Structure 1
C-alpha cells in the first residue's frame, strides 16, 4: 500500500475526557468529544518522548444542576451544509463527520481504518483500486447501501462545486471530463462489479488516489429540506433549517447500536459564548478565540488547562509549464524519492510539535508514510531517472542529450525557508540533480511554508501583529539566526513554552482558529483516542 496522512487530524492520541467517557461507556459519546476536539481543534502538544498529547482545554469545575443525559455542543459557522459535498465551514464539517461515514480513514502514520469498506486492493502498477464493501450496509432509513449507491454518492463528492477536500482525486479517474461540473454516472473510472465491489481506474499511480475514499457516503434526498440518507453514527432529527438541531442515533449504523441518546447542537457566537460556557448551557464548544475572551474564561474557572502547538505545513509545488522539466513524470517522482522530508521534519521541529505536509499539486505525493511508493531514497531517484534515459556524467549529475538535469527552486515562508533550501539542495545533489534558486516567477519548484497555528504557536507568534513582548522578539531573532534545523526546533520549543505559560497571544486571523472546551458539567480529560469521530472504542 502506498498512501499517507497529511492532515493534522487523527493519528495522534489525546488526553481523553475521563469521567465523561467512562460514565457513558459508549463509543459514540467518545466519538462526539473526539469529533469536536480532533475535527475542529488540532491544538495539542506532543509530550517529549511519549506517544500522547494533551488537549488544549479541559474544564474541571463542576457546575451544579448541569447534569444532562444528552451532550450539548456549540458551534460557529453553520451555514446549512451537512453533506460532505456541501460542508464548507468547520462547524459543518464536524457535524458531517458524525452523519456520514467514509469508506476508509487514513491515520497520521499512513495506516488505514476500514469503515464502510471491508478492504481495498491496489494493483501492482498503482492505477487500479478494487474496493470491497462490508456486508449488510444500510442507509439510515433501512434501505440497502450497495456498490451502485456508493458510486452515485462519490460522484456527488467529485462534483465541481463540492467542498470535499480531496476533490482533485476525481480528476485522475478515467473518463473524467474537466469541462463538466457534474460527471456522468456511467463514468468509466468507477466500475460497479457487483453489489459489494467497485473498481476504480486511475490514469496515473498517484498515492494521493487513496484519499478519494475518505469522503463521507450519504444520499441527498432533498437538500432544500435538509433531508438525507445517513451512514454515520447519528442522523438529523427532523429537518431543521437552522440551529439548534438534534442529532439522534442512527438505528442502521454499520458498527452496531448507538447508545448515546441525543446530541443537541447550538449556535455559538461572540455575543453568547461566554454565558453559554460559564452557565453550563453547552458541554463542548467550538469558537474563534481571542486573548480577552480566553482571559475571562480562565478567570471564571471554566478553562483550567491551556496549550499551544507548532504544526508546520510545507508545500512544494511543481510548476504547470510544458517547458519545465518537472512536468516529466520521472523527474517529479525522482524529486519525491530524493527529498528526505522525514529527516527535515524531525530535525526542524524536534519535540515542539508535529508536522503535516500537503501533497504536491501536480500529483506526485503526500509526504508522511507512503514509503512503499516513495521511500525517500536517492537510489530510487536514480533508478527512476535511469529508466527515463538519463545518465550520470563525471560530476555525478544526471544529464540527457548533453544537458544536465537542473531545477530552479523558489522558496519563501515565515519559517525554515532558508534551512529548507539547504536541505533540499543537498538531497537533490546527492541524487544527481542540480538545484538553483530564484526569486523570480521563472521556477520549476516553489516551496512555501506556513505554521498551522493552534491557539498559540510559532505561526501566530510570527504574525507581526503579535510582536508585543520583548522576549518573543528576542526568540524570533534567535530563530532567524539558527544555523541548523535542530537549533531552530529548540527555539520553537521555547516559544511554545513561553506562550503556554503566559498566554501571550491568540490568533484571530484565520478560519481554522478554534478550540474545544468543556464547560464543567463533565470533567473533560481526553486520553487514548487514536481514531476520530464515530469509529472510536470499537
Structure 2
C-alpha cells in the first residue's frame, strides 16, 4: 500500500483530508461541489498538460476577413490521429474536438464548481463510497434514440477499457468488481448498477472525492467501433468516418441544451508548415496548437501573435510506503518528516526564485493543495514534538528511538535531475531532528522521491523546472548541473542556464496556469480564451 503527502503548488482546491471531513457534514449537490474542488487539479492536469515541451496556444479570430462567409467556421487542430472518443482521444486537439461530440455527466469548471450536463443530480452516501446519478429527462443520442441509464453504463465501460485514458482507468480501479486483468470490463460490473431508466448507482471500494472524475468522461454509443463510428451526445455530430482531415461537423439537433447556433464546422489540420499562412490569411477561425519558441517568434513577427507566456513543469512525487514493518506506517512519523524537511529552501536554492512556491506544501492524500495555510510548514520544533507525542525519545546519539529501536528511514531517489541534491538536503534535515536516513536502489524503501509523467489520482507532487537540453549550445549545462556540489551552486547554474534558454530557440513548454493571452494586429484581432474548454462558445 502506498500513501503520499502533498508536495504541491498552491493553485486552489481542497486537501483530500479536509474534503472528506467536509463531505461528512454536507449532502447532495453541496457535497458534490466539495469533491469537485478536490479533483479540479486532476481534471486540469489530465486535460492538456501532457505536451510538456511546447506552449499550448488557443487562437481565436475575433474579426472576420471581408471576403469570408459568416456561416463558415473553420477549426484548426494539430496532431490529429482520428481518436475522437474521450476514451481514446490522445492529443489536445483531439480532446477539444471530442468535447464538441460527446457530453459528460458533469463538467468541473476552472473555479472548482460543478456543471450538471447530462446528469440532473449526483448524491453522495454518508460513507462517501456510493454515488447516485440521476439523468436529465428526455435525453437522446444524435440519431434520435433514447439515452437511458443502461446505455450510459455501457458507454462508461468504454472509459474503463485497458487502452483508454489513464485517469479513467484509475477511477475504474476503485469500482467494486473491477478486474485489472481484463482489457474490457464486464457489462454486469458490480460497481455500476442501473436502478431505472434515469438512475445509476456507482459503488466504489474507497471513499475518494477523485472518484467523481469518472463522471467527466464523455458519453457516446459505439455503433461501429471498427470504423470509429458513434452516436453522439454533444453539440455536434460527425457524418461518416473521422479518418482524415478535413472533416465536417454538423449541429446535433438532439443536443440536450438546444441546437448549437453555429450549424456547421469544418476541421482542418494545422502544422508547422501551414500554421502561419492559415492564421494570417484567415483560413482558420479558431485554432488550438502547440508551438515551440521559434514558431512563436515567427508568428509574433508576422503580427499574428504579439504576446505569449509559457513555463516548464515536471511532476515530482515523494511517496511514503506503508508496509506493516515500515516506520512511516505511523502517521506521526510521516507528519514529523513533513515538518522537518526545508521544502522552500530546497526549491529556491536549486531552481531559483521563480520556483520558490513550487515545493511549498506537504499535505496528506491530496493531489491539489488548497489555498489555506500549509498543513506542515517547516518547523524543527513541531517535528520533535510530534515524535515525542508518539512515544519516541532521543538516545545518547541524538537519534529518536522507541522500545530500543532507532527511527531509521530508507530513501530511494531516482529519475530526476535534482535527485542527488534532494537526498543531501533531505538527509541533512532529518538528521537535524533526530531521524536517520539510509539510501537504497532496491524496491525496499520507506520513502521514494521520483518523477512521474502521469501521476496516479492518489499520488501527490510538486512542480519543479526540468530544463530542455536538446540545444547543443547549452547542453554542457546539464553535466555542470549534475556535478553541482550543493544546492546554491546548482541554483546559480540554473539561473545562468535560464538566461541562455532565453537566447536560444528551445521549445517553450506548457504554462503552469494553462491560460494564454495572444494579441494580434493584422487582419484579425486575436484573443486566446479558455484553454481547458477551448471551443465551448460554439454551442452557446
**TM-score, with length taken from structure 1:** 0.68
| Contact 2:304–2:526 (Cα < 8 Å) also in 1 | no
Equivalent residue number for residue 21 of structure 1: none
Alignment partners' CA distance in 2, 1:437 and 1:416 = 15
Deviation at 1:150, TM superposition (A): 1.6
1:283 aligns with 2:314: no
Any stretches of 5+ residues in structure 2 without a counterpart?
Answer: 1-33, 455-462
Q: Contact 1:103 / 1:216 at 8 angstroms: preserved in 2? A: yes
Among 41, 53, 63, the residue aligned to 1:6: 41
Pick which of 428-437 and 125-134 moved more: 428-437
Taking the TM superposition and a 5 Å limit, the aligned residue runs for 1:155-234 are: 155-163=157-165, 165-234=167-236
3-state SS in 2 of match to 1:4: helix
The verdict on how the C-alpha distance between 1:287 and 1:57 changes in structure 2, with shifts beyond 3 A counting, is closer
Q: CA deviation at 1:256?
A: 3.0
* Root mean square deviation of aligned Cα: 5.5
- Match of residue 51 from structure 1: none
Q: Does the residue aligned with 2:90 lie in a helix, a strand or coil?
A: coil
Question: 1:316·1:448 contact (CA, 8 Å) conserved in 2?
Answer: yes
Instruction: Please give the secondary structure, in 2, of the residue aligned with 1:172.
Output: coil
1:236 and 1:248 in contact (8 A); partners too: yes
C-alpha spacing 1:446/1:109, structure 2 compared with 1 (3 Å): farther
Q: How far apart are residue 301 of structure 1 and its match?
A: 2.3
Tell me the secondary structure at the aligned position of residue 170 of structure 2.
helix
Instruction: Return closer, same or farther for 1:435/1:264 CA change in 2, 3 Å cut-off.
Output: farther
For the residue of structure 2 that corresponds to 1:5, the secondary structure is: helix
Deviation at 1:402, TM superposition (A): 6.5
Equivalent-residue separation in structure 1 for 2:327 and 2:59 (angstroms): 45
User: How big is the shift at 1:214?
Assistant: 2.0
Q: What does residue 127 of structure 1 align with? A: 129
Aligned counterparts of 2:120 and 2:180: Cα–Cα separation in 1: 31
Change (3 A) 1:323 1:139: same
SS of the residue corresponding to residue 299 of structure 2 reads helix
**SS at 2:211's partner residue?**
helix
Tell me the residue number matched to 2:7: none
Distance in 2 between residues matched to 1:429 and 1:195, nearest whole Å: 61
Aligned CA distance change for structure 1 residues 60 and 84 (closer, same or farther; 3 Å): closer
Distance 1:336 1:203 in 2: 30
Q: Structure 1, residues 354-410: CA drift from partner, whole Å, max 9, x if none? A: 9699xx9xx954233499xx97699xx99xx99xxx943234999887656654332
Match of 1:444? 446
What does 1:68-83 align with in structure 2 at a 5 Å threshold?
68-83=70-85
Q: Number of residue pairs matched?
A: 479
> What secondary structure sits across from 2:230 in the alignment?
strand
1:274-295 Cα offsets, whole Å, 9 max, x none, are 4333433223334453444444
The reply on whether 1:151 has 2:153 as its aligned counterpart is yes
Q: Partners of 1:119 and 1:370 in 2: how far apart? A: 27
CA contact (8 A) 2:347 2:359 kept: no
Tell me if 1:408 matches 2:413. no
**Correspondences of 1:348-427 after superposition (within 5 Å):** 365-369=366-370, 391-395=390-394, 406-412=408-414, 414=416
- Aligned residue for 1:259? 261
How far apart are 1:41 and its partner, in Å? 9.5
Q: How far off its partner does 1:421 sit?
A: 6.1
Q: How does 1:468-507 map to 2 (within 5 A)?
A: 468=473, 504-506=505-507
Runs of 5+ unmatched residues, structure 1: 12-34, 46-54
1: distance between equivalents of 2:121 and 2:433?
Answer: 36
Of the three residues 138, 141, 164, the one matched with 2:140 is: 138
Query: 1:254-333 to 2 correspondence within 5 Å?
Result: 254-317=256-319, 325=326
What is the Cα deviation at residue 154 of structure 1?
0.9
Q: Secondary structure at the match of 1:135?
A: coil
Query: In the TM superposition, what is the alpha-carbon distance from 1:219 to its structure 2 partner?
Result: 0.8
Task: Say which of 460, 463, 468 aligns to 1:463.
Answer: 468
Change (3 A) 1:85 1:309: same
Cα deviation for residue 339 of structure 1 reads 7.8
Judge conservation of contact 1:458–1:492 (CA < 8 Å) in 2. Answer: no
Alignment pair present for 1:532 and 2:533: yes
Q: Which of 99, 117, 124 is matched with 2:119 structurally?
A: 117
Provide the C-alpha distance between the structure 2 equivalents of 1:243 and 1:82, rounded to a whole number of angstroms: 12
1:131-184 deviation per Cα after TM superposition (whole angstroms, max 9, x unaligned): 233333322223222222221111111122223533122112111122222211
TM-score between both structures, scaled by the size of structure 2: 0.67
Deviation at 1:437, TM superposition (A): 4.3
Residues 332 and 267 of structure 1: CA distance in aligned 2, closer, same or farther (over 3 Å)? farther
Q: 1:40 to 1:466 in 2, by over 3 A?
A: closer
Residue in 2 that maps onto 1:16: none
Q: How does 1:427-442 map to 2 (within 5 A)?
A: 436-439=438-441, 441-442=443-444
Structure 1 residue 188: Cα displacement: 1.0
SS at match of 1:409: strand
CA distance in 2, matches of 1:92, 1:435: 46
Question: Retained in 2: the 8 A contact 1:192–1:199?
Answer: yes
State the alpha-carbon separation in 1 of the partners of residues 433 and 202 from structure 2. 34
Tell me how far apart the structure 1 counterparts of residues 49 and 62 of structure 2 sit (CA, whole Å): 20
Structure with the greater alpha carbon radius of gyration: 2
Cα deviation for residue 245 of structure 1 reads 0.6
CA contact (8 A) 1:458 1:495 kept: no
Q: Report whether the alignment pairs 1:103 with 2:138.
A: no
Q: Is the 8 A contact 2:140 2:146 kept in 1?
A: yes
Equivalent residues of 1:58, 1:304 under 8 A apart: no
Rounded to whole Å, the distance in 2 between the matches of 1:106 and 1:429 is 43
Contact 1:283–1:522 (Cα < 8 Å) also in 2: no
| Contact 1:137-1:144 at 8 Å conserved across structures | yes
**Does the CA contact (< 8 Å) of 1:137 and 1:254 recur in 2?**
yes
Give the match's secondary structure for 2:171: helix
